């Protein structure tokens, strides 16, 4: 009896499992294939990007480091990403405490505001920023780009910090205070200490979001400011420089490493 | 309220003295003119339903909230102006509030470190506290690796390590299952006996209050409905709220004149200084049942109330029988299992209450 009832269920289960497996495999392949392809192509030789490559070697990598074209954009990207991460934390940290630990009136509105950059289409947002920045003479300036990138990075930073702060119970601070710790000692020794991995993680995510950003820089960078993503876009506009495969690979590996680090830091507390 | 405290003489020096304490949140009055003396070494429980103000009172004592008015004196010193860190109190939270990044030993050492104990004294004190709560073998563990009961023991050891004047406990057993709760009750009692610390304990569980406390303050809507030993609150409640909340008593309306209680058309002689409209409390175990199948042979004068059985269920050693009186008001009887014949829903019965089973109250 039970066998009869179980059998059809098991057949459906098996079929759906195969189908599900295929779907997952297809999705993963679709997501990873371009990345894998770039990785393979970066070790090719010759003047054109083609598959399979004419030969194998580290030509593309040596070219990046010897040509001198990539150095300045890379440095600028690092610089802007660093200030963006610092700035996003400077805005995000107090914001998160106001949202989660205070009774500030209108804090829901503030939270909505912080997440606005996610909701608004990025090119529309960039057009709006262009209008504002041109009034303020911020077009083509580093601090202008940093400001735009901070707005862009803020949602991620706020999410990382607030999910972590929500897990740190306010009672911990109160417990420390009843045990004789001053408010500042309880805050630094307990709350901030527990939040520290999330702060570092938020820093990395802020850094990545700026380092990888190509839309705002195109709208707001003017002629003079060329970050790494901008340089890659520019270089494929007229002719494809094969070296970008090597650059893309490095970028990919670097960002993946930072992402993994940031994620590991978030989980570290548990 | 009669003065029948078990602790008297030198012990009776109040450790904490509260006078006219009140607290309002906006328009709502959460605490109304609270007076309370907590004696040194006493275990006092604040018991009440949720929203009765018990946790607010505890948080004001701890310094997490400020009172809207009144005095808060610890050994004669006004502590209401002090920060939580300056009040020399210890606190155990319902969610334990252990520091997740510190080991068990480091958690216990936290208050000692803040107080700048020297190395040797700190280590001795931590070892002693670990021994008191029986967790020496887990000293190097992180709190997340411990069970709920073990975490609560760490919280207790941590709060007592620096020998606070008063230990505050906010529903510390609320998150534990029943068997563990009973075990922890005994351990808390044991630790209280060994350390002699003054304890103010908040709970909504009357059994916990009964087992642990020297005195219980029963709170209702921001005031003390009763403040006495568990025995007195249980056997001689001073009002209907205490009778219902603390001992699940039945409360009947009556009038009293010249030592004769007029109740449900009957006259029962009682000893009470009251007169006029009164309330009568009857604990479920002090009433007997007489049914057609199992007629009780009551001796002497007793209150007899006709009623219909509404429901019956087993509590364990006792069974609880819910009845409806003729006017529809409910009445509960508890009796030892097997002490009477079986009863069924719809059975006619007579509730029999001897005069000794009645407590006359003003309201």
pLDDT in tens, B62-88: 999 999 999 999 988 899 889 999 998
Interface of B with A (CB under 8 A): 62-64, 83-87, 89-91, 93, 95, 97, 99-101, 110-111, 114-115, 144, 158-159, 162, 164, 168
Asked if the structure places residue B213 within a domain, the reply is yes
Mean pLDDT of A110-125: 88
The Cα B266–Cα B254 span in angstroms is: 10
Same domain for B229 and B293, yes or no, is no
Asked if the structure places residue B302 within a domain, the reply is yes
Range of the domain at A179: 67-268
Asked if the structure places residue B275 within a domain, the reply is no
pLDDT at A1 over 50: no
- Burial of residue B166, with CB atoms counted within 10 A of its CB: 0-12 exposed, 13-18 middle, 19 or more buried: buried
Of the candidates A73, A87, A91, the one whose C-alpha atom is nearest the C-alpha of residue A244 is A73
The Cα B23–Cα B45 span in angstroms is: 20
Same domain for A242 and A186, yes or no, is yes
Of the candidates A270, A250, A266, A256, the one whose C-alpha atom is nearest the C-alpha of residue A64 is A250
Same domain for A30 and A100, yes or no, is no
Binning pLDDT at 50, 70 and 90, where does residue B9 land?
very low
What CATH number corresponds to the domain at position B299?
Answer: 2.40.50.140
pLDDT at B225 over 70: yes
Same domain for A53 and A138, yes or no, is no
Same domain for A82 and A121, yes or no, is yes
Final residue of a domain: which of A44, A61, A78?
A: A61
Asked if the structure places residue B267 within a domain, the reply is no
Same domain for B23 and B106, yes or no, is yes
- Whether residues A179 and B87 touch (CB distance < 8 A) is answered with no
Q: Which runs of E-coded beta strand occur in chain B? A: 14-25, 28-39, 43-47, 69-74, 77-78, 89-92, 166-170, 198-203, 215-220, 223-228, 250-257, 260-263, 266-269, 276-282, 288-291, 303-314, 318-325, 330-336, 348-353, 358-361
* Among B176-180, B196-200, B223-227, the least confident range: B176-180
Asked if the structure places residue B246 within a domain, the reply is no
Residue positions counted in chain A: 270
At B6 the pLDDT is 44
Final residue of a domain: which of B240, B269, B296?
A: B240
pLDDT at A270 over 80: no
Same domain for A21 and A145, yes or no, is no
- Number of domains into which chain B is organized: 2
Shortest distance, CA B159 to any CA of chain A (angstroms): 7
Same domain for B85 and B226, yes or no, is yes
Same domain for A49 and A86, yes or no, is no
Chain A hits for B83, Cβ within 8 Å: 177, 182-183
Chain A hits for B99, Cβ within 8 Å: 172, 175-176, 190
At B220 the pLDDT is 92
Shortest distance, CA A179 to any CA of chain B (angstroms): 5
At A268 the pLDDT is 56
Per residue in A171-213, pLDDT (tens digit) is 999 999 999 999 999 999 999 999 999 999 999 999 999 998 9
Same domain for A187 and A257, yes or no, is yes
Look at strands B358-361 and B276-282 and give their pairing.
Answer: antiparallel
Shortest distance, CA A171 to any CA of chain B (angstroms): 6
Same domain for A7 and A100, yes or no, is no
At A7 the pLDDT is 54
Chain A hits for B91, Cβ within 8 Å: 174-175, 178
Give the DSSP letter of residue B12: G
Give the DSSP letter of residue B18: E
At B264 the pLDDT is 84
Which residues neighbour B361 within 8 Å (Cβ) at sequence distance 6 or greater?
B237, B238, B239, B240, B243, B274, B278, B279, B280, B281
- Contact status, residue A249 vs residue A99, Cβ threshold 8 Å: no
Using alpha carbons only, how large is chain B's radius of gyration in Å?
A: 24
Final residue of a domain: which of A19, A44, A61?
A: A61
Same domain for B193 and B317, yes or no, is no
A48 touches chain B (CB under 8 A): no
Per residue in A72-112, pLDDT (tens digit) is 999 999 999 999 999 999 999 999 999 998 888 888 898 88
Asked if the structure places residue B276 within a domain, the reply is no
Same domain for B58 and B153, yes or no, is yes
Mean pLDDT of B346-352: 88
Same domain for A13 and A131, yes or no, is no
At B138 the pLDDT is 92
Chains A, B: CB contacts under 8 A, how many? 66
The complex's ipTM works out to 0.81
Which among B87, B96, B101 is the top mutation candidate for probing chain A, defined by the most A β-carbons within 10 Å of its own β-carbon?
Answer: B101
At B2 the pLDDT is 42
Helix, strand, coil shares of chain B, percent, nearest 5, are 30, 35, 35
- Whether residues B159 and A179 touch (CB distance < 8 A) is answered with yes
Mean pLDDT of A209-228: 90
Nearest to A269 among B100, B115, B164 (CB): B100
Asked if the structure places residue B2 within a domain, the reply is no
Across chain A, what does the average pLDDT equal?
A: 88
- Number of domains into which chain A is organized: 2
- Whether residues B110 and A176 touch (CB distance < 8 A) is answered with yes
Per residue in A152-162, pLDDT (tens digit) is 999 999 999 99
Final residue of a domain: which of A30, A61, A92?
A: A61
The Cα B327–Cα B264 span in angstroms is: 10
- Could you tell me the CA-to-CA distances from B263 to B38, B283, B305 in Å, in that order? 39, 16, 10
Same domain for A217 and A95, yes or no, is yes
Same domain for B234 and B286, yes or no, is no
Mean pLDDT of B276-294: 88
Chain B hits for A181, Cβ within 8 Å: 85, 110, 114
Same domain for A54 and A99, yes or no, is no
Same domain for A228 and A119, yes or no, is yes
pLDDT at B238 over 60: yes
The Cα B66–Cα B23 span in angstroms is: 8
Mean pLDDT of B125-147: 92
At B298 the pLDDT is 64
Nearest to A177 among B84, B101, B159 (CB): B84
C-beta neighbour count of A195 within 10 angstroms: 21
Range of the domain at B287: 282-361
What CATH number corresponds to the domain at position A204?
Answer: 1.10.3720.10
Mean pLDDT of B194-216: 93
């Amino acid at each position: 009896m039970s066998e009869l009832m179980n059998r059809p269920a098991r057949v459906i289960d098996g079929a759906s499992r195969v189908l599900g497996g295929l779907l997952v495999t297809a999705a993963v392949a679709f997501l990873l294939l371009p990345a894998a392809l770039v990785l393979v192509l970066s070790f090719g030789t010759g003047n054109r990007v083609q598959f399979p490559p004419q030969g194998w070697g580290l030509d593309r990598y040596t070219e990046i480091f010897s040509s001198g074209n990539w150095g300045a954009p890379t440095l600028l990207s690092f610089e802007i990403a660093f200030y963006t991460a610092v700035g996003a934390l400077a805005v995000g940290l107090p914001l998160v405490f106001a949202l989660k630990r205070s009774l500030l009136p209108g804090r829901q509105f503030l939270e909505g505001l912080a997440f606005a950059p996610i909701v608004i289409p990025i090119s529309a947002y960039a057009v709006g920023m262009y209008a504002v920045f041109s009034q303020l003479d911020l077009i083509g300036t580093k601090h202008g780009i940093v400001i735009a990138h901070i707005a862009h990075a803020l949602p991620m930073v706020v999410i990382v910090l607030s999910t972590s702060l929500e897990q740190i119970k306010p009672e911990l601070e109160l417990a420390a205070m009843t045990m004789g710790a001053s408010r500042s000692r309880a805050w630094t020794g307990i709350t901030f200490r527990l939040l520290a991995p999330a702060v570092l993680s938020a820093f990395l995510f802020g850094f990545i979001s700026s380092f990888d950003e190509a839309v705002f820089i195109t709208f707001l960078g003017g002629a003079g400011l060329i970050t790494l993503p901008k340089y890659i876009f520019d270089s494929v506009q007229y002719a494809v420089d094969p070296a970008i495969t090597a650059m893309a690979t490095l970028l990919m590996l670097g960002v993946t490493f930072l992402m993994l680090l940031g994620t590991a830091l978030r989980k570290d507390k548990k | 309220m009669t003065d029948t405290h078990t602790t008297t003489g030198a012990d009776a020096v109040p450790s904490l003295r509260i006078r006219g304490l009140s607290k309002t949140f906006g328009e709502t009055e959460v605490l109304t003119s609270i007076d309370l003396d907590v004696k040194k070494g006493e275990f006092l429980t604040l018991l009440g339903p949720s929203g009765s103000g018990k946790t607010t009172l505890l948080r004001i004592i701890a310094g997490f909230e400020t009172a809207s008015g009144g005095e808060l004196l610890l050994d004669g010193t006004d502590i209401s102006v002090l920060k939580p860190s300056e009040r020399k109190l210890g606190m155990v939270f319902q969610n334990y509030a252990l520091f997740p990044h510190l080991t068990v030993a480091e958690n216990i050492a936290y208050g000692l470190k803040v107080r700048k104990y020297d190395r040797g004294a700190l280590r001795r004190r931590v070892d002693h506290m670990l021994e008191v709560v029986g967790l020496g073998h887990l000293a190097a563990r992180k709190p997340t690796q411990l069970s709920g009961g073990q975490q609560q023991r760490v919280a207790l050891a941590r709060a007592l390590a620096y020998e606070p004047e008063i230990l505050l406990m906010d529903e510390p057993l609320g998150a534990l299952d029943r068997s563990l709760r009973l075990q922890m009750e005994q351990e808390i009692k044991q630790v209280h006996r060994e350390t002699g610390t003054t304890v103010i304990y908040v709970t909504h569980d009357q059994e916990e209050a009964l087992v642990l406390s020297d005195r219980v303050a029963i709170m209702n809507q921001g005031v003390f409905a009763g403040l006495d030993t568990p025995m007195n609150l249980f056997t001689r409640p001073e009002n209907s709220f205490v009778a219902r909340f603390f001992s699940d008593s039945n409360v009947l309306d009556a009038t009293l004149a010249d030592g004769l209680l007029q109740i449900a058309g009957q006259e029962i002689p009682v000893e009470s200084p009251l007169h006029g409209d009164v309330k009568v409390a009857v604990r479920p175990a002090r009433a007997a049942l007489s049914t057609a199948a199992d007629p009780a042979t009551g001796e002497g004068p007793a209150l007899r109330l006709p009623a219909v059985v509404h429901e019956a269920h087993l509590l364990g050693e006792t069974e609880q029988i819910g009845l409806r009186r003729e006017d529809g008001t409910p009445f509960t009887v508890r009796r030892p299992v097997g002490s009477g014949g079986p009863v069924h829903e719809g059975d006619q019965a007579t509730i029999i209450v001897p005069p000794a089973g009645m407590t006359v109250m003003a309201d």
